[in-house]
Amino acid sequence: MEKSNKLYIGPKAILKYLRERNDQDKQNKNIDPEKINLSFIKIVLKYFRLSKPHQKRRKGISEYQHYPKRLISEIGSLILEVDFIQRFIKGQTKPVHFIAFSCKSLGLKQYRRVSAQTNKNVRKELEWFFNNFFIPDAVKMDNGLAFIGSASAIRTIGKTVKFLLDKKIIPIFTNPRSPWNNGSVEGSNSVFARNFWNKFTFESIADLDKKLKLFNESSLWYSDYDRSKIRKKEDKEFIPQIYFIRRVYENQESEKGEINILNEKINLPKKYITLYTLSKWNLKTETLYVYFEKEQEKLLIKKLRFEINENCEF
């Protein structure tokens, strides 16, 4: 495999490489693409002990806690997940920051080095992504201040959120301290570590940027990304709204359930404690809807007036 642009490893990468070689060399009688598939490659790697034992993942937790998977998928068919990564180069005290982009439905992963984890850099790099790849229906993020905005003011709309809404993109915020809510980009971060960060020794920032460019090219190769196949967004009325994935916690004083949205505490029936909800803030009507997913059905469990902070420019 050419190290210049194919940095991914594993059965899928091997299969892609063999098929490309076969397409390039029609006279090659040693490769029959019809007889080679992922299952065959996995068996060969296992036989020669070239693959690690598969670790069974713990399943059922998200289903048991009613994580609103189906409700989130209904927000849009193209959901982009975004996150920051921080690393240290050996011999340097300053951290190196990256922003990661991942779209599960396309298998697309891209990474950019940034000067710091700021909302300005988030907006700048989102603009870069939209110009070079596609404009998603929604962007899923954690509750870091660079994404969500103020740490203390209630019901405000941060700069990153306003930037997305201006482009008719719906922001989705995950539950605090629950990285698995952003599973695609978190998995992408492990790919970043395995196939890039832990694979090289970086002599300088310039060297790092050069290798990062090759890694991004390799990621495009691995995902079979084709911009021409992405549908154009429908030109329809856009209703500005923000979604919040929130797990219900117990309020020790009232013994009721409680979620926190933009520093505003919202009471819920105690029967929902430990379970997940999905809240939609309609900015046009300034109304908050709290939904619960049960057997893939959407149940409205609370509706309330949720006014935009008067000090917020929107």
Which residue ranges of the chain lie beneath pLDDT 50?
1-4, 57
* Segments of 90-240 assigned E as strands: 95-103, 108-114, 138-141, 170-173
In a domain, 23, yes or no: yes
Give SS3 for 11: helix
Q: Is residue 271 part of a domain?
A: no
**Is residue 10 a part of any domain in this protein?**
yes
C-alpha to C-alpha distance for 48 and 301, rounded to whole angstroms: 55
**Residue 14 located in a structural domain:** yes
pTM of the model: 0.84
8 A C-beta contact, residue 96 and residue 205:
yes
Q: Please report whether residue 222 resides in a domain.
A: no
Q: What's the structural domain count of the chain?
A: 1
**71 inside domain:** no
Is residue 239 a part of any domain in this protein? no
Least Cα distance to 243 among 169, 180, 132, 179 occurs for 169
Task: Say if 82 falls within a structural domain.
Answer: no
pLDDT at position 20 is: 67
pLDDT value of residue 235: 76
The parent domain of residue 41 ranges over 1-56
Query: How would you label 261-288 residue by residue, b for 16+ Cβ within 10 Å and e otherwise?
Result: bbeeebebeeebbebbbbbbbebeeeeb
What is the reported pLDDT for 4?
47
Rounded to the nearest 10°, the torsion over CA 209, 213, 215, 218 is -170
